[in-house]
Amino acid sequence: MRYIAWAIGLAFLCYLPFVLTDRAVLGVRLSNMQLLNLGMSQVNLMLIAMLGALSLNYLTGCAGLISIGHAAFYATGAMTAAITGTQWGWPFPLVLLAAGLAGALVGTLAGLPSLRVRGLYFVLSTLAVHYVVTYIFLEYQFKYFDVAGVPFNPASMGAFELNTPMRWYFFLLPLVALVYWGLKNSLSTREGRVMMAMRDHELATTSVGVDVRVLRLKAFAFSSSIASMAGALYAYFMSNATSESFGINFAIQFIAMIIIGGMGSLGGALVGAALWLLLPSIITGFASQAGGSTGLVRLLLVENKAQLVQLIFGTLIILLLIFAPGGIAGIGQKLRQRFSSKGAA
């Protein structure tokens, strides 16, 4: 049954871009509402956000290192892509590699305060890294590209050019699967288990001879390299990037994703990113249908649509923190345990 479920899921993911592009299933036309007002651009942005959510959940949920400077690593990747791709003309695969290496370097530097400080002081140090990197990006942008932002040429790998949403989808989907598979398997190794032990009880981990300082820096470098590559992909996909694109709200959204999906669950990070990126589009679709409504429906869906999205996400996060601290992944695990216990009985 598990293999059948995987096959059905893979078939769905492969057929999804054709449905969203043709707006039809097996030749049967579907309305915008039947497709939940979703398009390929939202799905591709969701896949890029999944890379950021996976990397942050690996750092915070699995290694126990709380960071609110994740947007800085995205900005590092975008700036590296601007230098190597736009200015130096490097090919796209080398640009991604350079972004990953630059992100690992910045992540290692950002993780250095973790060797001396803990708790709120360390969180503030990651916030400081965020402002330093975005300031450097701003100065770089104004010096070479002015206020219009940094332009990016279409990404290409040889003769294959990522110039359509569908091509981007079939490039990003295997990449997200590969990163998920790599992170999942890394947690099964000895070092991965030690890292999770460090998250649960650092003193006990140190007492068995583990140098947690090196482990922290490795976690930061690994996580930030993935986030930096995601930042380069984001810049190329948007074809333009500015320092304002990577503000503090951009960093906070990744924290919200892993809280909603489930702290410490890589699968939960994917769910949280999907919910965070797609729900506003779905609500926008309902708002377009409610254009002729009156009263409370019009007030919520038409006149205060942006506030409604914030209200839904804020309420969801509060409810999850109170009733399900494990997020959506924790709820799913409890349901599986309940059904398996009933089946055994």
Per-residue confidence in pLDDT tens, the chain, 345 aa: 888 988 999 999 999 999 999 999 988 898 888 888 899 999 999 999 999 999 999 999 998 888 888 999 999 999 999 999 999 999 999 999 999 999 999 999 998 888 887 778 888 889 999 999 999 999 999 999 988 889 998 899 888 899 899 999 999 999 999 999 999 999 999 889 999 988 888 888 888 788 888 889 999 999 999 999 999 999 999 999 999 999 999 999 999 999 999 998 999 999 999 999 998 888 877 777 665 666 666 666 666 667 777 888 888 888 888 888 888 988 888 888 887 776 655
pLDDT of res. 345: 57
Of 230, 174, 173, the closest CA to residue 58 belongs to 230
CATH of domain 31-344: 1.10.3470
Q: Quick count: other Cβ atoms within 10 Å of Cβ 211?
A: 11
**DSSP one-letter code for 164:** S
Tokens 């993911």 belong to 13
The overall pTM is greater than 0.95 = no
pLDDT of res. 49: 96
pLDDT of res. 242: 92
- Residue 197 CB partners (closer than 8 Å, separation 6+): 204, 205, 210
> For residues 89 and 201, what is the distance between their CA atoms, to the nearest angstrom?
47
Where are the CATH 1.10.3470 domain residues in the chain? 31-344
Q: At residue 291, what is the residue type?
A: G
pLDDT of res. 280: 85
pLDDT of res. 118: 77
Q: Quick count: other Cβ atoms within 10 Å of Cβ 129?
A: 26
Question: Is the distance from CB of 149 to CB of 241 less than 8 angstroms?
Answer: yes
Region for residue 158 given its phi and psi (left: phi exceeds 0; alpha: psi -120 to 50; beta: otherwise) = left
pLDDT of res. 301: 66
Tell me if residue 31 falls in helix, strand or coil: coil
**DSSP one-letter code for 324:** -
DSSP letter string, 206-251: HHTT--HHHHHHHHHHHHHHHHHHHHHHHHHHHSEE-GGGG-HHHH
Q: How many CA atoms lie within 13 A of 52 on its CB side?
A: 35
Tokens 């290496």 belong to 101
**DSSP one-letter code for 153:** P
